[in-house]
Structure 1
């Protein structure tokens, strides 16, 4: 696989230094920023397609934050207009739109496009994979971003991490599931490799954009659905059409969203604008994670008080899902050299970072969290 070096140092450097000050669920307006660009830089106007309904104020708000930051840091000379899912293209067709230069960039999740290339899932999240901080480490310092960009280069794209939800919930169900047998024949909305695993467990997998989930559940077209977590799920109204809310979201332990940019458009962008765009995506990543960690607990308490039944997946389901997930990875690795290269690198990183976190982070969590009532 050919190596292409698209990465500047700014995205890596700023991943650890971008602002962590967001305490409200809703994105806050950027502070006044002195323009960094020279007066000689050109005025550039881009459009951003997104996979998100505008009603989802954290995830679409993060798309909007990127655009506002870029405008603020360039004194309005580089502007990007974000569009909700369906305004330019459907939410699951963002990648094609960016590839074709229908738009210059898109805010989306790579695992929506695993049918284009299965290894793209590693840029977002995979079942029984990495949590948010481990995913950041894998992408920026474990070779993950470089490997994913090799794949995207063949689609005329370059990607930038641009958001993280943290560990997601395990989905909404119209009836209880207690064993792997209960999953057979179930119609469930779930994308990415998580969907591939569920399919192996007998689930009739559906891939729907966010705005399509509520009506499908309400009509009974699907029996279950996963989206993000309590805050965004509540805004979609999923608690009003399914009574059982499961955890953990074993297929999405650290979901990373991304900005996809058309490669030709990226290469003609002035270097200063490239640096600024990378800074904006890095800030959106850290703010989104902080916002979800603030908002999800409050939303979960509201839903529990309103009658939502919180349930945990059984050990039998988790064991069956884990075994199916790693069997899937090995199968795809045997048939796809690019997948094998990324999977081997990811698996080695996962082993090392799991060992470290088991010694320190997990030991703390296991003690401290048991005190929570």
Structure 2
């Protein structure tokens, strides 16, 4: 039976968790795992982060844990990664939690795809020290998966458009690619929101199937060729203030590891989060400057009237995302409480410093 056929017949993830599946190779203490991703092959910052994490785990384990990384479509189709790992078709995934929000709106809090939510540093602090990991374990445990935060793209841009946006009315009827809660905000502004794999964005923009799309930031966006498809590039990315990606591990596989190997993987994932954030920040600054110097793309800030409309709608959308079952309510309460405390500190620390740095 092909792996895709197995996925199609697995039914619900809860049911799939009881399926028998091939045990990873265990020979002379060596474990061999497959990691599936939702990123195009070679995509800088995301697919390369998954590969770097796999290598770091192999090196740290002295070669005892070997992970083969498969880009989108190589082992399972795009957006099948979550179910594949829950069912044991693959042992690990590297992807965004927001892609699977239909399972639970609370997933958005763990992709940090929360409009006007936490920055990358704040998000990491919530996961590590604010109770976020414990609630995440509970949420994903329902789907037979152990989650770990492993990659950060930092602050994102607002997206690419084929025409200028001067007011909230500009979103009415706009065909826009944006997943997660940000997409719901735009839908309530009248946009026609779609979710597409990254590999389909540029062809859809060029063909006119899309009028606009968000992706990540200058580095990854240029690598995808978005700057050759449309000419208006907006900021800030209200919808994803500090996006984090997930290393998901089949629960049975995770529980089969001893405590030392679990700690090794947790440490490697945390290190990759910090490393990837530094990499994105450096390259985003570099490619933003290149785009400005080339002058073929208009880099524009959303008008304050647009940002106010985003914020007004976002408050309701985020609250609704946390109004599901008991776990979702507790995730929402924890995230919002942490956000409030971080906003107070960030105003005193980061914003005050950044404003003072501009005085010169």
- TM-score of the superposition, structure 1-length normalised? 0.86
Tell me the residue number matched to 2:339: 350
Please state how far the C-alpha of 1:370 moved relative to its aligned partner.
5.4
8 Å Cα contact 2:233/2:299 also seen in 1: yes
8 Å Cα contact 1:41/1:270 also seen in 2: no
Number of aligned residue pairs: 332
Confirm whether residue 72 of structure 1 aligns to residue 47 of structure 2. no
Confirm whether residue 142 of structure 1 aligns to residue 130 of structure 2. yes
8 Å Cα contact 1:197/1:324 also seen in 2: yes
Confirm whether residue 50 of structure 1 aligns to residue 5 of structure 2. no
8 Å Cα contact 1:55/1:235 also seen in 2: no
Distance in 1 separating the partners of 2:47 and 2:53: 10
Tell me the residue number matched to 1:243: 231
8 Å Cα contact 1:171/1:246 also seen in 2: yes
8 Å Cα contact 1:173/1:244 also seen in 2: yes
Tell me the residue number matched to 2:10: none
Please state how far the C-alpha of 1:363 moved relative to its aligned partner.
0.5
RMSD in angstroms over aligned alpha carbons?
A: 1.4
8 Å Cα contact 1:184/1:203 also seen in 2: yes
Tell me the residue number matched to 1:322: 311
Note closer, same or farther for the CA distance 1:261–1:322 as it changes in structure 2 (3 Å cut).
same
Tell me the residue number matched to 2:258: 270
Note closer, same or farther for the CA distance 1:370–1:222 as it changes in structure 2 (3 Å cut).
farther
8 Å Cα contact 1:66/1:277 also seen in 2: no
Distance in 2 separating the partners of 1:269 and 1:138: 26
Displaced runs of 4+ in structure 1, greater than 6 A?
A: none
Please give the secondary structure, in 2, of the residue aligned with 1:266. Answer: helix
Tell me the residue number matched to 1:286: 274
2:120 to 132, 140, 146: 132
Confirm whether residue 191 of structure 1 aligns to residue 179 of structure 2. yes
Please state how far the C-alpha of 1:340 moved relative to its aligned partner.
1.9
Please state how far the C-alpha of 1:55 moved relative to its aligned partner.
2.6
Higher mean displacement: 83-92 or 309-318:
83-92
Tell me the residue number matched to 1:228: 216
Unpaired runs of at least 5, structure 1: 1-39
Please give the secondary structure, in 2, of the residue aligned with 1:360. Answer: helix
Distance in 2 separating the partners of 1:314 and 1:232: 24
8 Å Cα contact 1:123/1:145 also seen in 2: no
Distance in 2 separating the partners of 1:334 and 1:67: 36
